[in-house]
Structure 1
Amino acid sequence: MFTPRPRFGTQTPPAIFPPVLGALGLGLAWRRAVDPFGVPGAAGDLILGAVTLLFLFMVVAYALKFGRRPGVLAEDLRVLPGRAGLSASVLSVYLLSAALVPLAPVLAEALLWAGLGLHLALLAVLIRGLATGPAEQRRVTPVWHLHFVGFIVACLPAVPLGHAGLATVLLYGTTAMALAIWAASLVQARRLSVPAPLRPLLAIHLAPACLIGTVAASLGLMPLALAAAALAVLLLVLMLAGARWILAAGVSPLWGAFTFPMAAFASLMLVLAGTAEPLGDLFRIAGGVSLVAATLAIPPILLWVMQAWAKGKLGAQTNAARV
């Protein structure tokens, strides 16, 4: 019997967004490589332009799904890949704003405030779902950084757009939230084991330290920037030491969680290469190595996720809601 093909956007999985967030971060990292390495600015712009088009296509795909049945948003937020993906989609708006600051500051300003509005709206729906859902959903996970600490990404466009006060408030508020999540995660790790399929999400713990350091440096708060950099290096070393354990489940859609922390770490090292003397040369080397590593890793992960989506497998693999 003939089975009609589902309409486009019927089960658009939120898991498509994390690797795009990482790819946008990679483009911004290549922009930061202009001063320490003399890389042509066009390299970052080309990455950002291509990924922006892909991100807009994804937004349209998810908007079609949401428009057909708005309830799918709450359903996607019930599962961990959905919560991570939808939060990553909002954080991508902030990075798109940051990418547009030197090219179209008025549009960048509009995207910054639109991102903050979308973030607050998503957070309201998420908190309502956590409060009314099963207790298991309220367990602290690395994805909480995306929900509650993710506001710090708004500082990346806010500082160059002249909103230093807003960036300072967001920096200190999200730093306190990140510390609370790290502490809760440490306590939880002592009594609960992490299932192998969910271990890639542990990489998200690296991203807040990198962003705190980057934003602090942009605001001239170098002691905080260096402290965050030291924590970021420590977390990266621990993750590299436990790489075999983290990767035990093999390739999965959750590998998207590796992408944006890698890009954020490269950006932090490149920012400090020009501002943290006399350690500038050390940060420059670390920035170059981490940028190359991110460039080699992020595109293949993005391609793998896109292929899984195109083949219709990603929705089922991540339990995405269907219209």
Structure 2
Amino acid sequence: MQTSRTKFGEQTPPAIFPNMMGLFGLGLAWRQAERAFALPQAFSQVVLGAVTLLFLFGFVAYLRKVSRRPGVLVDDLRVLPGRAGIAAMTLSLYLLAASLVPVNAEIAKLVLLMGLLIHLIVVVLVLRVLFTGPAEQRQVTPVWHLVFVGFIIAPLSAIPLGYQTASTNILFTTGAVAVAIWGISLWQLISRIPPAPLRPLLAIHLAPACLLGTVAAMSAQMTVAYVAVAMAVLILLALLTGARFLTQAGFSPLWGAFTFPIAAFANLMFAMDSAAGGTTFALIGILALVAASAIIPVIAVKVFQAWAKGQLAVKTNAARA
């Protein structure tokens, strides 16, 4: 993905990775749907295989950018789209690990550990950027969920790999952080309406509730799971009610923030169906999956087209190596 004036990876925009998160989540939701309805696990394998190849291409391209000038990582972390994108890149490694568990548990374990290591490095660098940069950069944003609560995605592969105790600790620790971010964000939203171009980021608030519920269901922490489901439904209803408000500025690369929360909600419903039984969760899961299948690829294709044309880096202020 380059222009004639740009060497491979020289200005790879981190904004590609939220969409890859959404596509990974979509593939995992299809895997759960196939299990829930006893269908052949074929379509989900195709989706996850294709997304894995796409992610690896983008990951290598970004690593190439960092290898050319390591300081470019910090430069990208200084801008909101870059911070969200780099966080999404690390979280995509967790999703890749979850995709690989049924295929090869040992490789999935290595990818999970690599994701944890890179995520910890990103958290340290983000904290450095926040505390050494302008005061306005320290304002809490929905992107904080990706950076500081994103560890909650690790148990999706850690639990089936046998790391139950660590996963439970992650569940309650990230849950507390998510509640703090939700509370501060609600106060900020009441105090000041965010500018229209940044409003799509509000959709990120849905993802932690869905992931906390999914991990709780996988861990048989059903009280926590039901609380998370209630929170996810409330946030989803608020987002649907304010859809025109969220999209007022028109399409932008930040619409990638709509992709992975939708997929996360579908995964939550199927996880609850598996843990609690009944048909309600499965039916809601199918409806969410249909919506996710219609929305996520459209947004992802538009963002990837901008990447291919060399426009995405400019639109998101991506640093150049």
Do these two structures clear the TM 0.5 threshold for a shared fold by scoring above it?
yes
Where in structure 2 are there 5+ consecutive unaligned residues?
none
Question: Equivalents in 2 of 1:190, 1:21: separation in Å?
Answer: 29
Q: CA separation in 1, counterparts of 2:58 and 2:187?
A: 37
Counterpart residue identity of residue 25, structure 1:
G
* Residues 15-164 of structure 1: pairs in structure 2 closer than 5 A: 15-164=15-164
CA distance in 1, matches of 2:13, 2:190: 32
In structure 2, distance between residues paired with 1:168 and 1:138: 29
- Take 1:190 and 1:29, find their aligned partners in 2: how far apart are those partners? 34
Cα displacement string for residues 92-111 of structure 1 (whole angstroms, at most 9, x for unaligned residues): 00010011111100001111
Q: Which residue of 2 aligns with 1:176?
A: 176
The residue that corresponds to 1:272 in the other structure is 272
Q: Which residue of 1 aligns with 2:253?
A: 253
Q: Which secondary structure does the structure 1 equivalent of 2:70 belong to?
A: coil
Report if the CA contact (8 A) 2:269-2:282 is conserved. yes
Displacement of 1:4: 6.4
Q: How high is the sequence identity, in percent, across the aligned residues?
A: 58
**Matched letter for residue 253 of structure 1:** P
Q: TM-score, normalised by structure 2?
A: 0.98
Q: Which amino acid aligns with 1:106?
A: E
Contact 2:35 2:41 survives alignment (8 Å): no
Shift of 1:42: 1.4
- 1:239-274 CA distances to partner (integer Å, 9 max, x unpaired)? 000000100011100010011100000000111123
Whole-angstrom CA distance in 2 between matches of 1:223 and 1:112: 27
Which residue in 1 is equivalent to 2:306?
308
Match of 2:189 in 1: 189
What SS does the corresponding residue of 2:185 show, helix, strand or coil?
Answer: helix
Aligned residue number for residue 293 of structure 1: 291
Q: Is residue 217 from structure 1 mapped to residue 189 from structure 2 by the alignment?
A: no
Mark the CA change 1:69 to 1:270 in structure 2 (over 3 Å): closer, same or farther: same
Contact 2:220–2:275 (8 Å) recurs in 1: no
Distance 1:4 1:239 in 2: 41
Separation in structure 2 between the aligned mates of residue 308 and residue 20 of structure 1, nearest angstrom: 15
Provide the C-alpha distance between the structure 2 equivalents of 1:124 and 1:297, rounded to a whole number of angstroms. 34
TM-score when scaled to structure 1?
0.97
- Count of residues paired in the alignment: 319
Aligned partner of 2:208 in structure 1 is: 208
2: distance between equivalents of 1:67 and 1:174?
32
Letter in 2 for 1:312: G
1:184 is aligned with what amino acid?
Answer: I
In the alignment, the residues of structure 2 paired with residue 125 and residue 183 of structure 1 have an alpha-carbon distance, to the nearest angstrom, of 24
The SS at the match of 1:274 is helix
Q: Which residue of 1 aligns with 2:198?
A: 198
Query: Which whole-Å CA distance do the structure 1 matches of 2:274 and 2:154 have between them?
Result: 22
- Distance in 2 separating the partners of 1:208 and 1:23: 17
Aligned equivalents of 1:60 and 1:108: distance in 2? Answer: 18
Could you tell me which amino acid in structure 1 is paired with residue 199 of structure 2? R
Change (3 A) 1:4 1:27: closer
Alpha-carbon distance in structure 1 between the residues aligned to 2:33 and 2:189: 37
